[in-house]
Amino acid sequence: MNVDYIPVLSDWSMTETHEFLLHLTVSVFIVFGLYFVLRRTRASIILFVLGTVIIGGCYYPLTVLSGGHLM
């Protein structure tokens, strides 16, 4: 759960559990946001998958920014 690249959150001292809960919360918001945007535009499942792949592709650059390990 890399939050080191977020300026405000990098100063907080969080346990692994808190980081995981933050990760789940952000993930749920992203999924619902993506769902409602694509539903409103009546986009196909291909756009949903493409959006998910792009968001997932951000994992590696953000990990590099945080100075963390990839796995």
* Secondary structure (DSSP) of 18-46: HHHHHHHHHHHHHHHHHHHHHHHTT--HH
- Which residue has tokens 């990990």? 63
Asked if 51 and 34 touch (Cβ cutoff 8 Å), the reply is: yes
Burial pattern 28-60, b for ≥16 Cβ within 10 A else e, equals eeeeeebeeebeeeeeeeeebeebeeeeeeeee
**Where do the domains of the chain lie?**
7-66
Q: Is the pTM of this model over 0.75?
A: no
pLDDT in tens, 8-43: 766 778 888 888 888 888 888 888 887 887 777 776
